[in-house]
């Protein structure tokens, strides 16, 4: 049976179109008895609202754009899961694109979303992101920052206390008796500043001198194969220069997981020779050999809160008068065999 229209439904109920519409939208103006009657008839005849007409009437498309660096990244895919859940609960649709840490691709995504008449965007800015560009687009439609939030943009920001996460992970390695602690970073990734700061503070708190050579930065704007190849070269070179037992902290899923494979190729035992811990939300952490100790971030909650705050902004009568704030969620360490003596 084809879907019945609102007008046809009203005729069958012998009510006005306005009354039926209000009943379906749970208006306080309509009695509960009428609401029950209208809903029952709507279900009987498979009534479905005309989303396009409703969107035009409200001046919204009920569509949210999401821009993240990599769709395949475990952390970012979990952010998407949370974003989808919040959108679904509020009758919004999601459209997502990836920037691949490239500011040009990010700007192209922003232009595409503007052409599609989206209502707003949540974004994890690319490493090279220009705040000036984001500020310009934020005047046209609301933008909420998620994960990488260290940007001067007047909006809601949802992130993780990355500095504390890196501090706790470094301290964990120090407690194992590791004095030489390597930090693996992606070059020019905005979140690095906080994680490097946490790493440095942990060294300082334990009277361990900072050796800049122990901070290994890898170019992130390349293929995964090239990234891992270059990471191996840098990691092997530095490890050969060290005599002490080593601790290794990875700041991203890719670097943390890749380091285990590289150490195995170099015939280095984990954790006896090199203890490994890192920021990683991958579900494979338990299945790796050895199982990987991780700093797990609440990625689902970041996505969920990001979309919830964006929708709050979208439906606001005047978003430019809203009191924006920053939400910092806590990460947690899961200790597994890669750091167990």
- The secondary structure of 31-71 as a DSSP string is -HHHHHHHHHHHHHTT----HHHHHHHHT---EEEEEES-T
Task: Work out the burial of residue 31: count CB atoms within 10 Å of its CB; fewer than 13 is exposed, 13-18 middle, 19 or more buried.
Answer: exposed
**pTM assigned to the model:** 0.79
Helices marked H in the chain: 6-13, 17-24, 32-44, 51-58, 74-89, 103-115, 131-140, 162-175, 192-205, 224-240, 253-265, 299-314
pLDDT of 341 reads: 67
261 Cβ partners below 8 Å, 6+ apart?
A: 228
Q: Are 240 and 268 in contact (CB under 8 A)?
A: no
Q: Which domain holds residue 233?
A: 162-297+333-339
Q: Are 160 and 134 in contact (CB under 8 A)?
A: no
Q: Is residue 56 part of a domain?
A: no
Q: Are 21 and 49 in contact (CB under 8 A)?
A: no
Residues 155 and 303 in one domain: yes
Token look-up 């002490």 returns 244
Q: Is residue 20 part of a domain?
A: yes
302 Cβ partners below 8 Å, 6+ apart?
A: 79, 82, 146, 147, 158, 159, 160, 329
State how far the alpha carbon of 53 is from the alpha carbons of 57, 60, 90, 117, 181, in Å.
6, 10, 18, 15, 60
pLDDT of 66 reads: 97
Residues 30 and 102 in one domain: no
Residues 279 and 305 in one domain: no
| Phi, psi angle pair for 153, to nearest 5° | -125, 130
Q: Is residue 153 part of a domain?
A: yes
Residues 186 and 287 in one domain: yes
**What whole-number distance in Å separates Cα of residue 258 and Cα of residue 222?**
15
69 Cβ partners below 8 Å, 6+ apart?
A: 76, 98, 99, 100, 101, 124, 126, 127
Residues 135 and 185 in one domain: no
CATH of residue 319: 3.40.50.2300
Residues 209 and 184 in one domain: yes
pLDDT of 1 reads: 41
Residues 146 and 237 in one domain: no
Residues 22 and 149 in one domain: no
Q: Is residue 55 part of a domain?
A: no
Q: How many residues does the chain have?
A: 341
Q: Is residue 191 part of a domain?
A: yes
Between helix 299-314 and helix 74-89 the angle, nearest 10°, is 40
Residues 131 and 203 in one domain: no
Residues 247 and 305 in one domain: no
The structural domain count of the chain equals 3
pLDDT of 212 reads: 95
Q: Is residue 33 part of a domain?
A: yes
**What whole-number distance in Å separates Cα of residue 320 and Cα of residue 297?**
31
Q: Is residue 10 part of a domain?
A: yes
Residues 93 and 191 in one domain: no
Q: Are 139 and 117 in contact (CB under 8 A)?
A: no
What does the pLDDT profile of the chain (341 residues) look like in tens digits? 446 888 888 898 899 888 888 888 777 788 999 999 988 988 888 887 665 455 545 557 889 999 998 888 889 999 999 999 999 998 899 999 999 888 889 999 999 999 888 999 999 998 766 788 899 999 999 999 999 898 889 999 999 999 999 999 999 999 999 989 999 998 877 678 899 999 999 999 999 999 999 999 998 777 788 889 999 999 999 999 998 789 999 998 889 999 999 999 999 999 999 999 999 888 888 989 899 999 999 999 999 999 999 999 998 888 888 999 999 999 999 999 999 86
Say whether 144 sits in a helix, a strand or coil: strand
pLDDT of 223 reads: 79
Residues 11 and 72 in one domain: no
Token look-up 């203890």 returns 275
**What whole-number distance in Å separates Cα of residue 124 and Cα of residue 113?**
15
pLDDT of 276 reads: 96
Give the number of C-alpha atoms closer than 13 A to the C-alpha of residue 321, restricted to the C-beta side. Answer: 4
Q: Characterize 146-158 residue by residue with b for buried, 16 or more Cβ atoms within 10 angstroms of its Cβ, and e for exposed.
A: bbbbebebebbbb
206-233 confidence digits (pLDDT tens): 999 999 999 999 987 777 888 899 999 9
């Amino acid at each position: 049976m084809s879907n019945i229209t609102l007008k046809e439904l009203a005729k069958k109920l012998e009510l006005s179109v306005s009354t039926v519409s209000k009943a379906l939208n749970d208006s306080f103006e309509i009695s509960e008895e009428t609401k029950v009657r209208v809903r029952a008839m709507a279900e009987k005849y498979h009534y479905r609202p005309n989303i396009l007409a409703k969107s035009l009437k409200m001046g919204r498309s009920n569509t949210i754009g999401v821009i993240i660096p990599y769709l395949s990244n475990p952390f970012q895919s979990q952010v998407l899961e949370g974003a989808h859940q919040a959108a679904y609960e509020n009758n919004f649709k999601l459209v997502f694109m990836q920037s691949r840490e490239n500011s040009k691709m990010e700007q192209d995504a922003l232009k595409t979303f503007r052409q599609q008449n989206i209502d707003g965007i949540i974004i994890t800015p690319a490493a090279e992101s220009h705040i000036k560009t984001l500020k310009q687009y934020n005047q046209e439609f609301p933008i909420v920052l998620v994960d990488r939030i260290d940007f001067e943009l007047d909006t809601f920001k949802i992130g993780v206390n990355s500095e504390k996460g890196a501090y706790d992970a470094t301290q964990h390695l120090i407690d194992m008796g590791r004095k030489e602690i390597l930090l693996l970073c992606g070059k020019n990734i905005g979140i690095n500043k906080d994680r490097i700061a946490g790493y440095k503070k942990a060294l300082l708190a334990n009277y361990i001198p900072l050796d800049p050579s122990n901070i290994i930065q890898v170019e992130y704007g390349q293929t995964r194969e090239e990234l891992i190849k270059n990471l191996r070269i840098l990691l092997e070179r530095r490890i050969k220069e060290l005599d002490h037992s080593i601790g290794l902290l990875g700041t991203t899923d890719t670097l943390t997981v890749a380091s285990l494979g590289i150490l195995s190729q170099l015939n280095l035992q984990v954790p006896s020779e090199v203890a490994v811990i890192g920021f990683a939300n991958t579900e494979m952490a338990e299945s790796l050999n050895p199982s990987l100790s991780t700093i797990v971030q609440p990625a689902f909650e970041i996505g969920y809160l990001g979309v919830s705050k964006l929708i709050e902004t979208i439906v606001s009568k005047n978003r430019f008068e809203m009191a924006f704030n920053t939400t910092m969620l806590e990460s947690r360490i899961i200790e597994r065999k890669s750091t167990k003596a």
